[in-house]
Amino acid sequence: MMTLTFSDVRQKFSSVLDAAIKQPVTITRRSAPDMVVITAEQFAELQQAKFEASLARVTNKPKNKALFKELADK
């Protein structure tokens, strides 16, 4: 993963976007990680994984399993 300061990113924004196609780019401010630049496709994959994990937590609760079974049987 590439790491750049906020000042570097301002100066080289176009090349940072090009680099983010190949790998995530971490942007630091005051010597600490602040943001990460990723592609829209990578972001969509992360959002999908987050949704699937949330859905699994909800559907795996015993109370909810019974409710989903009842709804599926209708």
Structure tokens at 39: 């592609």
Range of the domain at 33: 1-38
Same domain, 23 and 46: no
pLDDT tens sequence across 9-66: 999 999 999 999 999 999 999 999 999 999 999 999 999 999 999 988 888 887 777 7
The Cα–Cα gap between 67 and 10 comes to: 52
What is the SS3 string spanning the chain? CEEEEHHHHHHCHHHHHHHHHHCCEEEEECCEEEEEECCHHHHHHHHHHHHHHHHHHHHCCHHHHHHHHHHHHC
- Please count the structural domains in the chain: 2
Same domain, 66 and 44: yes
What is the pTM for the complete model shown? 0.73
Same domain, 2 and 28: yes
What CATH number corresponds to the domain at position 25? 3.40.1620.10
